[in-house]
């Protein structure tokens, strides 16, 4: 089943097995002057030929380093110069083929080159398909995670779960952290479904299709309500991320794994300041999937990075905390409370 969503807040999002075959027609509708495909070393080996064949037009190709290394100002500068030297105009298109890190940096580059060019995202990891590529947040790292970025929804996003066929199991596990996040933040039924499965379901095609469709729909619903994270609605999806981003930066763990620990720590904070009581249930689900739940960093160092968090509007940390499975409250929290919860989670 292929579903199409279209709105100014999220652009056109085409989701489902086989949606990659629509790429050429969708890009033709945008009538780009030139096209640059940007991908990463791993993904290029696996999927670039297929995309070039499907696209059936002349395109420049640039291959970046894999993972977080690409989310860097120097990489952006290099790309901007390349675009300029190759004669890319405002009516040209950047196509990102890769995981969440690549989507973030290419989204950012597309948003600032000539004040914004056409952008298409083809996310190739579970995490990018259900989260990073949807909703227009772009970002690069600078001391802290995603400190520099813009809101810039892609004109066309193609979410084809077939691209996950080559994804190593470890990356599927990584992506499942964000699936669990959707369950806790918005979708009790989704959480209960994950409670029932075992790790072997991660390679089950119908399970993955269902998860991708449900999470994309959840995310689009929230982004349309609050595209620029101003009313608190979109902040719900930051559950696990205030502490998780600090852990990611300190430990070098992959995003999903850091968020897994971040969610457990934030559940502990929730137990201190809300009526939430399900931390052990959350921990059990994450551990069953093979995700880490134990904090392995100095709580004071974590707190120092939390101070750089974008949600901390007036200096105090703001956290998205569950009140029960499927429901989130946005709360300003004292630093001492966070330290207490981090102490319990280490």
Ligand X SMILES: NC(=O)c1ccc[n+]([C@@H]2O[C@H](COP(=O)([O-])OP(=O)(O)OC[C@H]3O[C@@H](n4cnc5c(N)ncnc54)[C@H](O)[C@@H]3O)[C@@H](O)[C@H]2O)c1
Examine residue 236 and tell whether it contacts ligand X (CB under 6 A): no
We find the least distance from the C-beta atom of residue 91 to ligand X, in angstroms, to be 25
230 is catalytic: no
Site for ligand X in 213-232 (CB under 6 A): none
Which parts of 191-210 interact with ligand X (CB under 6 A)?
none
CA distance 46 to 50: 8
Instruction: Write the binding mask 247 to 286 for ligand X: x where contact by CB under 6 A, - elsewhere.
Output: --------xx------------------------------
244 counts as binding ligand X under rule CB under 6 A:
no
The CB-of-66 to ligand X minimum distance in angstroms stands at 4
63's torsion region: left (phi>0), alpha (psi -120 to 50) or beta? beta
Residue for token digits 């030929």?
49
- Of the residues 12, 241, 283, 310, which is catalytic? 241
Contact predicate 126/99, CB 8 Å: no
* Helix, strand, or coil (residue 95): strand
Catalytic residue among 12, 145, 234, 310: 234
Q: Is 181 in the site for ligand X (CB under 6 A)?
A: no
| Interface of this chain with ligand X, residues 1 to 40, rule: CB under 6 A | 40
The verdict on 317 binding ligand X (CB under 6 A) reads: no
Residue 314, burial from CB neighbour count under 10 angstroms (0-12, 13-18, 19+): exposed
CA distances from 306 to 29, 95, 112, 240, 339 (A): 43, 33, 27, 12, 11
Catalytic residue among 213, 245, 283, 311: 245
C-beta of residue 83 within 8 angstroms of C-beta of residue 93: no
- Name which position in 50, 61, 62, 67 contacts ligand X (CB under 6 A): 67
Residue 253: its H or E element? none
* Residue from 60, 66, 226, 287 binding ligand X (CB under 6 A): 66
Kindly state the smallest distance separating residue 129's Cβ from ligand X, in Å. Answer: 9
Contact call for residue 131 and ligand X (CB under 6 A): yes
Distance from C-alpha of 54 to C-alpha of 56, rounded to nearest angstrom: 5
The whole-angstrom separation of Cα 159 and Cα 197 is 23
Nearer Cβ to ligand X, position 69 or 284? 69
CA geometry: angle 318, 320, 326, nearest 5 deg = 165
Residue 135 interacts with ligand X (CB under 6 A)?
A: yes
Name which of 131 and 187 has its Cβ closer to ligand X: 131
Alpha-carbon distance 259 to 291, whole Å? 9
- At a CB cut-off of 8 Å and minimum separation 6, what does 299 contact? 338, 339, 342, 343, 346
Which of 11, 16, 32, 100: binder of ligand X (CB under 6 A)?
100
Q: Which is nearer to ligand X, 151 or 207 (CB)?
A: 151
The catalytic residue positions are 115, 137, 178, 219, 229, 234, 238, 241, 245, 255
Residues found near ligand X in the complex (CB under 6 A): 40, 42-43, 46, 66-68, 71, 98-102, 104, 124-125, 127-128, 131-132, 135, 137, 139, 146, 163, 166-167, 171, 174, 255-256
């Amino acid at each position: 089943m292929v579903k199409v969503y279209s709105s100014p807040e999220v652009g056109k999002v085409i989701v489902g097995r086989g949606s990659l075959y629509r790429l050429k027609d969708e890009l033709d509708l945008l009538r780009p002057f030139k096209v640059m495909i940007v991908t990463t070393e791993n993904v290029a080996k696996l999927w670039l030929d297929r995309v070039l064949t499907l696209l059936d037009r002349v395109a420049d190709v640039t291959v970046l380093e894999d993972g977080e290394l690409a989310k860097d100002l120097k990489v952006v500068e290099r790309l901007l110069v390349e675009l300029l030297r190759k004669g890319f105009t405002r009516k040209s298109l950047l196509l990102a083929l890769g995981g969440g890190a690549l989507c973030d940096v290419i989204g950012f580059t597309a948003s600032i080159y000539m004040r914004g060019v056409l952008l298409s995202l083809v996310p190739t990891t579970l995490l990018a398909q259900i989260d990073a590529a949807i909703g227009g947040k772009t970002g690069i790292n600078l001391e802290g995670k995603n400190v520099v970025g813009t809101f810039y929804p892609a004109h066309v996003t193609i979410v084809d779960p077939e691209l996950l066929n080559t994804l190593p199991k470890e990356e599927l596990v990584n992506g499942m952290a964000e699936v669990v996040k959707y369950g806790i933040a918005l979708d009790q039924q989704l959480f209960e479904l994950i409670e029932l499965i075992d790790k072997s379901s991660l390679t089950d095609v119908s399970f993955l299709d269902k998860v991708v469709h449900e999470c994309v729909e959840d995310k689009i619903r929230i982004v349309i309500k609050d595209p620029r994270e101003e009313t608190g609605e979109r902040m719900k999806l930051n559950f696990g991320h205030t502490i998780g981003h600090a852990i990611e930066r300190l430990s070098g763990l992959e995003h999903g794994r850091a968020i897994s620990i971040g969610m457990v720590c934030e559940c502990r904070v929730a137990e201190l300041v809300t009526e939430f009581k399900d931390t052990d249930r959350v921990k059990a689900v994450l551990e069953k999937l093979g995700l880490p739940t134990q904090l392995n960093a100095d709580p004071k160092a974590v707190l120092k990075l939390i101070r750089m968090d974008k949600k901390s509007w007036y200096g105090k940390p703001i956290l998205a905390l569950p009140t029960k499975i499927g429901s989130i409250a946005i709360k300003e929290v004292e630093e001492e409370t966070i330290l207490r919860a981090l102490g319990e989670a280490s």
